[in-house]
Structure 1
Amino acid sequence: MEEESLSNVDVFLREELFEHGDKESADAAHNLTALRNLVAEAKQTHREVGSNTKEYLSHPVNVFHLARRLRTGWKNAIGHIRNSKPCKEWHMPQLISRLANIEDNLPSEGELTSVTYNLLTIQHTQGIRTQDLLRGKVGNRSALEPISPQEQFQVAKVAVDEDDYFYAAQWLKHLSRSAKLKDMRKEEDGFNATNVLGMLASAYFRINMLPEALKVTNQLLKKDPENMVARTNKVFFEERIARGKESTKTGSPKRFGNEDTYRRNFERLCRGTEIKPKRLKCVLLPTWPRSKLSFHKLEILNRRPPIVAFHGVVSRRDATRLVDVAEEEYEKIAMDSEEGFRTPEFTLVMSKLGKTRAAQYKQQQLLSKIRTKLSTLPYTVRPPYTSGESEARNFGHQGFYIKPNPHFQIQNLGAHTGTAMVFLNDVEMGGEIVFPTANTRIAPQMGTVVFYFPSFKKFHTICPVAYGTEWVLIHSFYERRAPYFCRLHEDPDLQQK
């Protein structure tokens, strides 16, 4: 999308240069300096990235830079172009339509906020130090550029909006110590030192660090003695401290309160050190039909409720082929030549892919092979049953988090009685499947199948992927009606088991 924007802007700037005769006249006539700076920045980034686009987009800081550039820079640039003389006076419906499509698909303010907050979630779950993330370091991976002071302030603002004052305080503290802060001007940068210190004092107060809040407020009053808000806050903090209100020790404040146990468990499981693996055993178990026997490396992750993992079920070759098919389809959807850019759906139903008969036949062969393996795993479903669709899903830096409804009943799922999740690639950092209520966590490993039965305690979430993306194949099983056979979702006694 940015490459398309660059090509259109180049055409526009050339036409403006032709119209006015020289660069200085064009800039003076239409104030194109900001636009030229944006183009220069984007071109420099593209030159450094080269053909390593996938690697560039694997890093969350790079994605943040790109999303911010698209939202703040390119949105204004494309709006400028659409209102320009060439677009208004020349008959170019295709160009105008293309620009309109790009503009419609640029990140929204909410999407930019989500990308921004992903940085903080990754920082928390991976235990990354703020100073390392500011340098663009995630694990052993470095971003193309560090995070600028303007971007630091934006991240801190998002943290405040999300009531995450713990990380707001950390980011604002580093920004307040930056040598570049004295050069920030509210008219140009959107903030200055006074804004940073005021927000930092408020964040400290929110996490009950009253001495630190008072200290920062005093610093603010040295810069701006007439600041009425700071003067009022100073009196308030001094009174609270004098009354002996308990304050948190510096360096050990609580991030959130105790009201959301599910979210805390989710982040605790994602953040925790690698759980010691169970002792794996290669067990000879009957498959279905029972006339066949095969070896399965089974790991019991949780007994009540039962959550199990079968290792090495899908070969690396088959998993890679499936990911290639899904990636190709996602790219086709996103770069549709007739409709322009559009966002793919959350899931890809694998049985419906393939434009040609030959492609469909190869995909069906591959899917049939994997579905057969899933259907014959022991301790999963009992016949009579039917298999649902196989869906490929791609998870990124945001992971996947959904809080279950406490009034969930298994009857609401109809005859859905089992789900198998297949890891289709290895993940460098993050991407663990966690069951917050069951206190269970498993790291992604290509070819491993995680199987569980649906219930309130087995709602799963996926930790943010700190680098790269994660591909998962999800396959569901449903019970069929049969004479003299009570299905699981119709039998309360079986549900409790």
Structure 2
Amino acid sequence: MTELLYVEKDLLASLANYIEVEQTKLDQIKRWAQNQANILAFSIEDPESFLGHPLNAFSLLKRLNVDWGNLDRFLRTNLTSDFFDILGVGMEKFPDEVDQLGVAEALLRLQDTYELDTNTLSKGNLPGTSKLLTGLNVDDCYYLSMVAYKKDDFYHAILWLSQALRQLEQGETPTTVDAVTILDYLSYSLYMQRDLEGAIHYTKQLLRIDPVNQRALDNLFFFDFHLEKQKTGQETPEPLETGRGGYDAVYEQLCRGESVELTARRQSRLFCRYHDNHGHPNLLIGPVKEEDLWDQPRIVRYYDMVTDDDIKMIKELAKPNLLRSQVQDKDQNYAIPARISQNAWLGDMEYTVVDKLAKRLTDITGLDTSTAEKMQVVNYGVGGQYEPHIDFVEDDVEEPYAEFGTGNRIATWLLYISDVPAGGATVFPKVGAISSPIKGSAVFWYNLHPSGKGDFRTQHAACPVLVGSKWVANTWLHERGQEFRRRCGLQSTD
């Protein structure tokens, strides 16, 4: 999307040049048109007398047969600007309807997750924002309502149709929609939500604008008929849809910062300390800042793990290789709506900066990174998220990550390489833990019990990015190489 801004900058510069060239042409055309208008004004007063002169007749036929044809060719061929060539190249990079739809769905996702009312979202009154160009206009609100409507999501359709109507009544002038269309869709959406009284109210409002609208007249009769059946007990209204059905409520609550309240005893187990990994030589002089985020499972954060220069280098290395993030199911990889992001992979054998971070990870955790996967750099844009998931392969799989031959993912190292003005937290729905993105910090946890069995309490999610762009770098460490670094417990259930 950043590249698109520069594409638009080049287009506007070319357009300015085109306007200047076209203005010269228009001035020339304007002089010709004025001359023709003067002739017409004189001739039209007494056409018969005027055309009685053979030179006038000749002049008329010549103008229509030659001069207007010359004008047509002049307009079509006298293009001295390369604007259209530049526009054609630029349009190859333009977003398509799928991209536009994705952003619209992201706004609806943000609305639900962070419980934003349509008026707040329409005006752009979001935390951490300062560079808002303009809010959503009536046409924008109507577009969002149609995205929901076409998916039979009448709950959100009603919210955005109502907002479009409200802004219309406040004096906005739309360009692609009118009040009759908005009221028509709004009344039908209310009917589909079994709100017959609301459907009747807005249908009557439509008829005050267009009294002979046959569709509205038919709908009013239909809605009145069903409302009467409800009142007499012949129909039972179905419960209204109030949001995205089946969506993880705990996940959304955690994304809003509504964490589980720890008992005083559990809270007393959480500390901040300087960590040197039992006197590791590389940490004796410069121990790292370690903070306990959660006790069961243990989740810790380390601060100041990477410099700004290293972050810049990681991003620059990753950007050319970013692709839509996918999930794996058996032998197939594919994109899903539950994971909206881009990612790229950087190996420590390929890049010095990645190798340096891998060695620091080993110093701090004591784990062997030689069997770890490549660093995964991930960028989450507008509404970017990854719904609740686990990082390990479940216990019923005989050989996890057979392609690597290094066993299951024993631990996760999540390095934040950007701040996020609003949203984008990492949350753990099974236990209630929240990790806010703090640039330069890393969050670490074990995915497996010491026995090697998966710890489902580590299920986690990347909350939708409300404002800004979120960058993280993941490193997944595997079992092989850790046999004497993290020993099994005495109990098979540990």
The TM tier, using the shorter chain, reads 0.5 to 0.7
| CA distance in structure 1 between the partners assigned to 2:465 and 2:428 by the alignment | 16
**Match of residue 409, structure 1, among 375, 379, 394:** 394
| 1:443 and 2:436 matched | yes
| CA distance in structure 1 between the partners assigned to 2:162 and 2:95 by the alignment | 29
CA contact (8 A) 2:112 2:243 kept: no
| 1:231 and 2:221 matched | yes
Shift of residue 281, structure 1, vs aligned partner: 1.0
Q: Structure 1, unaligned stretches of length 5 or more? A: 28-82, 335-344, 354-359
Shift of residue 145, structure 1, vs aligned partner: 1.3
| 1:9 and 2:15 matched | yes
What secondary structure sits across from 2:121 in the alignment? helix
CA contact (8 A) 2:345 2:377 kept: yes
What secondary structure sits across from 2:412 in the alignment? strand
CA contact (8 A) 1:200 1:216 kept: yes
**Match of residue 342, structure 2, among 346, 349, 361:** 346
CA contact (8 A) 2:294 2:433 kept: yes
Q: Residues 373 and 382 of structure 1: is their aligned pair in 2 closer, same or farther, counting only changes over 3 Å?
A: closer
Structure 1 length-normalised TM: 0.65
CA contact (8 A) 2:149 2:157 kept: yes
Q: Any residues of structure 2 matched to 1:55-70 within 5 Å, and which?
A: none
Q: Residues 168 and 407 of structure 1: is their aligned pair in 2 closer, same or farther, counting only changes over 3 Å?
A: farther
CA contact (8 A) 1:20 1:26 kept: no
| 1:310 and 2:316 matched | no
Deviations 1:65-95 (A, max 9, x none): xxxxxxxxxxxxxxxxxx97578x99x8x98
Structure 2 length-normalised TM: 0.66
What secondary structure sits across from 2:134 in the alignment? coil
| CA distance in structure 1 between the partners assigned to 2:31 and 2:435 by the alignment | 62
Q: Residues 274 and 486 of structure 1: is their aligned pair in 2 closer, same or farther, counting only changes over 3 Å?
A: closer
| CA distance in structure 1 between the partners assigned to 2:444 and 2:426 by the alignment | 11
| CA distance in structure 2 between the partners assigned to 1:469 and 1:20 by the alignment | 45
| CA distance in structure 2 between the partners assigned to 1:182 and 1:195 by the alignment | 17
CA contact (8 A) 1:309 1:448 kept: no
Deviations 1:408-461 (A, max 9, x none): 635443423322101223322101012345544322123332224455664533
What secondary structure sits across from 1:204 in the alignment? helix
What secondary structure sits across from 1:215 in the alignment? helix
| CA distance in structure 2 between the partners assigned to 1:405 and 1:314 by the alignment | 24
CA contact (8 A) 1:385 1:479 kept: no
Q: Which residue of 2 aligns with 1:102?
A: 90
CA contact (8 A) 2:293 2:433 kept: no
Q: Residues 180 and 302 of structure 1: is their aligned pair in 2 closer, same or farther, counting only changes over 3 Å?
A: same
| 1:175 and 2:164 matched | yes
Q: For residue 414 of structure 2, what is the amino acid of its counterpart?
A: M
| CA distance in structure 2 between the partners assigned to 1:435 and 1:483 by the alignment | 27
Q: Any residues of structure 2 matched to 1:247-266 within 5 Å, and which?
A: 254-257=242-245, 260-262=246-248, 264-266=249-251
CA contact (8 A) 1:175 1:181 kept: no
**Match of residue 217, structure 1, among 177, 199, 203:** 203
Higher helix share: 1
**Match of residue 434, structure 1, among 411, 427, 433:** 427
What secondary structure sits across from 1:386 in the alignment? coil
Q: CA RMSD in A?
A: 4.5
What secondary structure sits across from 1:266 in the alignment? helix
Shift of residue 400, structure 1, vs aligned partner: 1.8
CA contact (8 A) 1:392 1:473 kept: yes
CA contact (8 A) 2:376 2:474 kept: yes
Count of residue pairs brought into register by the alignment? 399
Shift of residue 484, structure 1, vs aligned partner: 11
Shift of residue 283, structure 1, vs aligned partner: 5.4
Q: Residues 406 and 477 of structure 1: is their aligned pair in 2 closer, same or farther, counting only changes over 3 Å?
A: closer
Q: Residues 112 and 246 of structure 1: is their aligned pair in 2 closer, same or farther, counting only changes over 3 Å?
A: same
What secondary structure sits across from 2:374 in the alignment? strand
Q: Which residue of 2 aligns with 1:377?
A: 364
| CA distance in structure 2 between the partners assigned to 1:426 and 1:14 by the alignment | 44
| CA distance in structure 2 between the partners assigned to 1:25 and 1:232 by the alignment | 61
Q: Structure 2, unaligned stretches of length 5 or more? A: 1-6, 34-74, 323-340, 448-453
Q: For residue 394 of structure 2, what is the amino acid of its counterpart?
A: Q
| 1:124 and 2:120 matched | no
Q: Residues 484 and 435 of structure 1: is their aligned pair in 2 closer, same or farther, counting only changes over 3 Å?
A: closer
Q: Residues 154 and 26 of structure 1: is their aligned pair in 2 closer, same or farther, counting only changes over 3 Å?
A: farther
CA contact (8 A) 2:419 2:438 kept: yes
| CA distance in structure 1 between the partners assigned to 2:32 and 2:238 by the alignment | 59
Q: Residues 153 and 267 of structure 1: is their aligned pair in 2 closer, same or farther, counting only changes over 3 Å?
A: same
| CA distance in structure 2 between the partners assigned to 1:196 and 1:485 by the alignment | 65
**Match of residue 146, structure 1, among 135, 141, 150:** 135
| CA distance in structure 1 between the partners assigned to 2:371 and 2:433 by the alignment | 28
Q: Residues 157 and 101 of structure 1: is their aligned pair in 2 closer, same or farther, counting only changes over 3 Å?
A: same
What secondary structure sits across from 1:422 in the alignment? strand
Q: For residue 308 of structure 1, what is the amino acid of its counterpart?
A: I
| CA distance in structure 2 between the partners assigned to 1:289 and 1:457 by the alignment | 31
Q: Which residue of 1 aligns with 2:48?
A: none
Q: For residue 12 of structure 2, what is the amino acid of its counterpart?
A: L
CA contact (8 A) 1:395 1:470 kept: yes
Q: For residue 271 of structure 2, what is the amino acid of its counterpart?
A: K
Deviations 1:220-240 (A, max 9, x none): 344345323443234234433
Q: Which residue of 2 aligns with 1:461?
A: 461
Deviations 1:351-401 (A, max 9, x none): 589xxxxxx9xx72x4444322322334xx755962332232222222223
Percent of aligned positions with the same letter in both sequences? 19
